[in-house]
Amino acid sequence: MRVTIKDIAAICGVSAGTVDRALNNRSGISKKTRNKVLKVAEEMNYQPDYTARSLVMGRTMTLGIVLFDLYNRSFAQLMNAIERKARELGYFVYITLTDKNPENERVCIEYLINRKVDGIILFTVNEGEKFNAYLSKFHTPIVTIFNYISRDWEYVGIHERQAMKEAVDYIISNGYKRFIYISPPLAYEGKSNIYTQKERFIGFMEGIREGSASEPLVIKVPNYLEKLEDYSFEPAKKTAIVCSTDLYALEVINFLKEKDIPIPESAGVMGFDDIDMLKYISPRLTTVKYPIAEIGEKAVESIVNKIEKDAYISISLLGYEIIKGESI
């Protein structure tokens, strides 16, 4: 069996309370006893039982992370940053993946709550009043990232809308007149939280209007490449294909290459996210970069502050940058 404080107490001829005082650096114990206890604990390779401690303390030093998967965007980098920062602050990380299933997400949240996580970092696919009320029930600190829910929850992200608008400005300044916008997630409007995607789209439309560009073709279907089949790409009427994430942009690039449509002469391509794989792909994709690791770190810092000092660290929206590649 594992060594417990009782075992140590028996060997040292002291009480469990005293062992606790020694082990956890509490006051009201003599140097001599402390050293003796510490030495025995060391010798016996004592390892504290956190489940017991959690029960009595009511906290677990654990953060729960809810993502829909690890494929998309730069989630791997995000998780890396979260895990590192969390452990730096003494916390452990439960990760749960929801597969973009709203109901599944609630299951995940309840699992985390029941395991008494001290806080949750949530990239939700749920939305609305009802969900908001649902979250409130738990009285657990929650920080949302990417998909916004409401003012009730701390939010860490970037100014998606403005970033996309600026991207459009940049494209227009490069002489593009016609636009295609690709964002399949927009089809989930009303069914799932697509805040981030909607913001990007709004920013896109703002840019189009202010730049007096002609009415864009907006594609919201999963088989978006098929919709490009009939489109006539010609150098004379430069078309920019704006994609709401890099992964769509990469598919589009593959599509254009297959059709021998020159990039960026006949068709320009714009991405969003600046995933790290881009450096291996030519032409270098023009895209929007934002500090993904920082989002993770800030989220952790904020929630830990809430846990320990009962106040979130309010984060203003983080910066972004247009990466000027060869595809526009």
Partner DNA sequence: GTGAAAGCGCTAACAA
Partner DNA sequence: TTGTTAGCGCTTTCAC
Residue 246's contacts (CB-CB under 8 Å, 6 or more residues apart) are: 73, 271, 272, 273, 274, 275, 278, 285, 287
Question: Quick one: which H or E segment has residue 63?
Answer: strand 62-67
Which stretch in 41-49, 123-131, 227-235, 313-321 sits in contact with a copy of itself by CB under 8 A? Answer: 41-49
3-state SS, 246-301, equals HHHHHHHHHHHHHCCCCCCCCEEEECCECCHHHHHCCCCCEEEECCHHHHHHHHHH
CA–CA distance from 129 to each of 72, 133, 177 (Å)?
A: 27, 6, 40
Q: Which is closer to DNA, CB of 27 or CB of 45?
A: 27
Whole-number minimum distance, CB 162 to DNA, in Å?
46
Query: Do residues 183 and 195 lie in contact, with contact meaning Cβ atoms separated by under 8 Å?
Result: no
316 touches, from a copy of itself, DNA, none (C-beta below 5 to 8 Å by class): none
Question: Quick one: which H or E segment has residue 84?
Answer: helix 75-88
Number of neighbours of residue 229 by Cβ within 10 angstroms: 8
Q: Which residue has the tokens 């060391």?
A: 42
Q: Does 35 bind a copy of itself (CB under 8 A)?
A: no
Whole-number minimum distance, CB 5 to a copy of itself, in Å?
13
Structure token digits, residue 181: 């916008």
Q: Does 49 bind a copy of itself (CB under 8 A)?
A: yes
Rounded CA-CA distance 134/128 in Å is: 10
96 touches, from a copy of itself, DNA, none (C-beta below 5 to 8 Å by class): a copy of itself
| Binding mask of the shown chain, residues 276 to 305, with x at each position contacting a copy of itself by CB under 8 A | xx-xxxx-----------------------
Q: Does 83 bind a copy of itself (CB under 8 A)?
A: yes
Binding site for DNA (CB under 7 A): 1-2, 4-6, 13-18, 20-21, 23-24, 27-30, 32-34, 48-49, 52-53, 55-58
* Residue among 169, 175, 157 at smallest CA distance from 291: 157
Q: Does 134 bind a copy of itself (CB under 8 A)?
A: no
Whole-number minimum distance, CB 34 to DNA, in Å?
7
13 touches, from a copy of itself, DNA, none (C-beta below 5 to 8 Å by class): DNA
Number of neighbours of residue 12 by Cβ within 10 angstroms: 18
Which stretch in 19-27, 69-77, 167-175, 228-236 sits in contact with a copy of itself by CB under 8 A? Answer: 69-77
Rounded CA-CA distance 55/60 in Å is: 8
* Maximum distance among all Cα pairs of the chain, rounded to whole angstroms: 91
Total residues in contact with a copy of itself, by rule CB under 8 A: 47
- Which of 4, 94, 162, 323 is in the footprint of a copy of itself by CB under 8 A? 94
Whole-number minimum distance, CB 204 to a copy of itself, in Å?
23
Query: Which residues lie near a copy of itself (CB under 8 A)?
Result: 45, 47-52, 54-55, 60, 62, 69-71, 75-77, 79-80, 83-84, 87, 92-97, 99, 110-111, 113-116, 137, 250-251, 253-254, 257, 276-277, 279-282
